[in-house]
Structure 1
Amino acid sequence: MSSPIYPDSNEELKSGMILQIDIIPSIEGYTGVSAEECISLANEELRNDIKEKYPELWNRIQKRRKYIQDQLNITLSEEVLPLSNTVGYLRPYLLSKDMALTCK
């Protein structure tokens, strides 16, 4: 309802913005599950600032990016910084701890 991303939007996404991303699979006749987590947008200047001033945070972000790209097969722009360990991660079947959705 308050997303700047909608058809014909003229809103500008800017460095420093924090956005909630949602994965909400839907099958007609079934209520769905969802994965809702936050990301930040960061231009090169902000990324360098975080890396320099908050190296532990930067290392966590890089580990998350690697997992999302290598394990979940989701390509991220370098400007997208995942702020949680569960960005893009969804266990749909009875919350099975050994199964997750991936993109192919």
Structure 2
Amino acid sequence: MSDIIIHYEILNDLLLIQWKNKTENALPLKPMRDNCPCAHCSGETDVFGNVYKGPPQKMEKSSYQITGIQPIGHYAIRPFWKDGHKDGIYSFEFLKKLCETFDK
């Protein structure tokens, strides 16, 4: 796996990421939350290809603030959002793609 995070921290409305190859990214929290990969936010696909999602959530200022981050093995992180949402597991590969699109 080439996309390995060796350090991360929250600075205001950004997730600062340092990768194993020493590159760095500053990912805004809003697109990170708006692209949450959990089943409620992104949906689940059944064997027939139908996608099922939870009802749309009303986003507030607290929806875009992180109170903590849990590492998931050596492949992902799980952010705890201030509004209580905590189901999204962001693989390093997924975060790298978000950084390529939204890096500040």
Please give the TM-score of this superposition, normalised by the length of structure 1.
Answer: 0.25
Which structure has greater strand proportion? 2
Please give the TM-score of this superposition, normalised by the length of structure 2.
Answer: 0.25
Q: Which has the larger radius of gyration?
A: 1
